[in-house]
Amino acid sequence: MARAVIVGGGGTGDAAAFALRKRGFEGDIVIVSADSDRPYDRPYLSKEFLRGEIERPKVFLHDERDYTKERIELRLGERVTGGSLQERKLFVEDGADLAFDVLVLGLGGTPRRLPEIPTAENVLTLRSLHDSQAIRESLGRSSRLLLIGAGFIGAEVAASARRLGKEVLVVEALPVPLQRALGREVGEIYARIHRDHGVEVRTGAKVEHWHAEGDRVVGISLSDGKREDADLVLVAVGIEPNLDLPRALGLPIEGGGVRVDEGLRAADGVYVGGDIALHQHPVLGRSIRVEHWEVAKGHGRGIAAAIAGGHAPYTKLPYFWSDQYDVNLEYRGHASGDDTAVWRGNREGLSFSVFYLRNGRVEGVLSMNDSGTNEMGGKLIESRRVFDAAALESADLAELVESPSAG
């Protein structure tokens, strides 16, 4: 009987394991994860769990008995360091080799550390449940949080800390928050939202000097010479995809990830999903690597479909959301800063969508408190039809979706 080994107990790995069983895979399923906790819902870690609104049991994706019932073996706190694809085996740190017939990798990433940032007891990063617990406890004892980086994690933690009544200073090297992900104009809107909620946002700023007392950072001096105090620091400057294992296995590494085909396959019987997968997306017609929760879970399910049913292209569009204060952001597709932006809705009232067009095709749709439009936008992306940017600004979207000749 075939044995599927899944390395990584995150969004990809957990979804792959349960979907494999659902699709009738009868062989052994083993999840090996370096994390000592069973798979959990990572997005809670910067939001509800961090704020103490939910506790650990609510964060886990499944009860322990679900793994027993589905005959999924969980090997937690074990790290895979290498292996041989030819001999179909993996090397487990401090353990015996592990044989597989089919291999799934969903390894996620490790928070980036900048060399100039000192190592100190109160300088933290956020990726795991353990990290979130530590930040939650430290926040409880702190009054002023310094966030280095205004990406999604930084922005969400800023919003959470404000809700807990903490003072928050965000230092971002770029001119606006979330610029890389959302472009300048939407980034400016986010900066305004955070400022309106009492966050001090210092953009285009650099830390010149770190002030420490013992093994704690107590403040920074910024490039403008101003000193700022803080009793907790969170460094949120993105992740490094975990590529050591794929490299050791000789898998193709490209564009910061592992190159996989349309069906998420990196080599014969080896599938890769989530943050580390550079996927040849069949609908968008190009390779994309996306660091989002729904994508990781979707990849897990897509990999299970491919294993159970032979070659199966994974066609779902990337989707993500972010909640900050009472602002809900949704994004479908995959656009870049150079694409033409078509705005619809009420910018001032924070209920709008932005369509990103390349050569007339919609590549991505971002929506703020405008979920219905986002969903329709997804259908326009999938249609791969060519639209006129000016017409799209005011067109009846439902009609466009319904009628292929409109637009």
Ligand X SMILES: Cc1cc2nc3c(=O)[nH]c(=O)nc-3n(C[C@H](O)[C@H](O)[C@H](O)COP(=O)(O)OP(=O)(O)OC[C@H]3O[C@@H](n4cnc5c(N)ncnc54)[C@H](O)[C@@H]3O)c2cc1C
In 214-296 the beta strands, taken as DSSP E runs, fall at 216-222, 227-229, 232-235, 239-241, 253-254, 257-260, 265-267, 270-272, 277-281, 286-288
Q: Which stretch binds ligand X (CB under 6 A): 104-112, 310-318, 351-359, 387-395?
A: 104-112
Write out the binding residues for ligand X, residues 253-282 only, by CB under 6 A: 274-275
Write out the binding residues for ligand X, residues 177-216 only, by CB under 6 A: none
In this structure, is the dihedral angle defined by the CA atoms of residues 241, 243, 246 and 247, taken in order, positive or negative? positive
Q: Which helix (H) or strand (E) holds 160?
A: helix 152-163
Q: Which stretch binds ligand X (CB under 6 A): 31-39, 141-149, 220-228, 344-352?
A: 31-39
Which of 7-23 are b and which e, b meaning 16 or more Cβ less than 10 Å from the residue's Cβ?
bbbbbbbbbbbbbbbee
- Dmax (CA) of the chain: 69
Write out the binding residues for ligand X, residues 108-137 only, by CB under 6 A: 108, 126-127
In this structure, is the dihedral angle defined by the CA atoms of residues 136, 138, 140 and 143, taken in order, positive or negative? negative
**Nearest to ligand X of 122, 128 (CB atom):** 128
Among 19, 20, 80, 169, binds ligand X (CB under 6 A): 80
**Nearest to ligand X of 34, 222 (CB atom):** 34
Nearest-CB residue for ligand X: 10
Task: Write the binding mask 220 to 249 for ligand X: x where contact by CB under 6 A, - elsewhere.
Answer: ----------------------x--x----
Site membership for ligand X, residue 62 (CB under 6 A): no
In the complex, least distance from residue 79 CB atom to ligand X, rounded to whole angstroms:
4
Contact 374, 367 (CB under 8 A): yes
Q: Which stretch binds ligand X (CB under 6 A): 10-18, 116-124, 135-143, 356-364?
A: 10-18
Site membership for ligand X, residue 107 (CB under 6 A): yes
Alpha-carbon dihedral angle through residues 327, 331, 335, 341, given to the nearest 10 degrees: -50
Site membership for ligand X, residue 320 (CB under 6 A): yes
In the complex, least distance from residue 212 CB atom to ligand X, rounded to whole angstroms:
26
**Nearest to ligand X of 153, 220 (CB atom):** 153
Contact 344, 355 (CB under 8 A): yes
Question: Would you tell me the crossing angle of helices 184-196 and 152-163 to the nearest 10 degrees?
Answer: 20
Two tokens, residue 154: 């930084």
Bridge partner residues of 405 (DSSP): none
Write out the binding residues for ligand X, residues 138-167 only, by CB under 6 A: 153
What letter represents residue 199's amino acid?
V
Q: Which stretch binds ligand X (CB under 6 A): 2-10, 172-180, 199-207, 372-380?
A: 2-10
Residues in contact with ligand X by the rule CB under 6 A: 7-13, 32-35, 42-43, 45-46, 79-80, 106-108, 126-127, 153, 242, 245, 274-275, 291-294, 296, 320-322
